Amino acid sequence: MKLTLRIWRQSDREARGKMVTYKIDDISTDMSFLEVLDVLNEQLTATGEEPVAFDHDCREGICGACGMVINGVAHGPQKLTTACQLHMRHFKDGDTIDVEPWRARAFPVVKDLVVDRGAFDRIIQAGGYISAPTGSAPDAHATPVPKPDADAAFEAAACIGCGACVAACPNGSAMLFTAAKVAHLGALPQGQPERASRAAAMLHAHDEADFGGCTNTGECTAVCPKGIPLTVIGAMNHDVLGSAIRGR
C-alpha cells in the first residue's frame, strides 16, 4: 500500500517544529505502525536526511515506551492497542496519516515524536510504592487477598505508563495514570499503611508537574491500551478526600 505520512519534526527541545509530509510505497498490511516508520527512516537515511526520532522498546505492547498521536488519536484508531501493535491493515491504500507527539506542558518534546515523560517518574517517586523492606518474594498465600480486590488491583496495575491518557485528555490531565497507581496499591493489604498520604502526595506531584485537572470526560480510558477504567479516578478521589478529612 501507498501512504502519505505527515509527521511532526522538531530537531530539539528549543526548536520550533512543524508537520512534514513524506510519501511512502510498498507498505505491507502486516507491518506494524512502527515498522512503517522504520521503512521511512531507511529511506530518509539513504537520501541523507535525518531519520524520524520515536520511542520504542519491546514492540510487544507491554513496555509503554512507544506512543504517538496517529490521526488525532493516541496510539491510533485501534482500541486497546499500542502504536507498536497497530497494524497497517487498519488503514487504507492511499491514506494520509498525521503523526504527532504527545502534547502536554509536562511532556516537553525532546525530538520529533519523543517526549520527556519524566513527570510520570516524579509522580511515582512521590508515593507510587510501599515503604517496606521487601527482601525475597514472600509466599503467595502469606497475606490473603480477596479475589475481587486482587482483580481490581491487577486491572489498575496493568498501566504501562505510556502517557496516552495525558495525550488524549482535553485538559492535559494525568489523572488516569496517577489514579491507576493509587488504586492499584490502595486495593491491596500491603498498600494500606500509606494509603491516604500516598494519594495526597501523588496528586500533589501531579499538580506540580503542570498537568491539568480531571473533568471526567473519559477520553483517557477510551485510548488507554490497557483499558484502565475511569473508576480508578473515583478510587483516587476517595483516598484524597480521606486524606484531607483525616489530615494526613
Name the residues that contact other proteins, by CB under 8 A. Answer: 6, 8, 19, 69, 71-73, 98, 100, 103-106, 117-118, 121-122, 125-127, 168, 170-173, 175, 183, 200-201, 203-208, 210-219, 221-223, 229-238, 240-241, 243-244, 247-248
Rg of the chain in Å (alpha carbons):
20
Closer residue to other proteins (CB): 32 or 243: 243
Tell me, letter by letter, the H, E, C secondary structure of 1-41: CCEEEEEEECCCCCCCCEEEEEEECCCCCCCEHHHHHHHHH
The grid coordinates listed for 222 are: 477510551
Closer residue to other proteins (CB): 28 or 118: 118
Closer residue to other proteins (CB): 37 or 69: 69
Question: Which among 126, 191, 208, 106 is positioned nearest to 157, based on CA atoms?
Answer: 191
Closer residue to other proteins (CB): 77 or 138: 77
Closer residue to other proteins (CB): 40 or 214: 214
Closer residue to other proteins (CB): 41 or 237: 237
Let me know: does 184 contact 190? Beta carbons within 8 Å. no
Query: What residue ranges in the chain does DSSP mark as E strands?
Result: 3-9, 18-24, 69-70, 73-74, 96-100, 109-111, 114-115
Tell me, letter by letter, the H, E, C secondary structure of 83-108: HHHCEHHHCCCCCEEEEECCCECCEC
- 62-85 core/surface letters (b: 16 or more CB in 10 A; e: else): ebbbbbbbbeebbbbebeebbbbb
Question: Which among 191, 190, 156 is positioned nearest to 176, based on CA atoms?
Answer: 156
> Rounded to the nearest whole angstrom, what is the least distance from the CB of residue 103 to other proteins in the complex?
5
Closer residue to other proteins (CB): 44 or 124: 124
Let me know: does 168 contact 76? Beta carbons within 8 Å. no
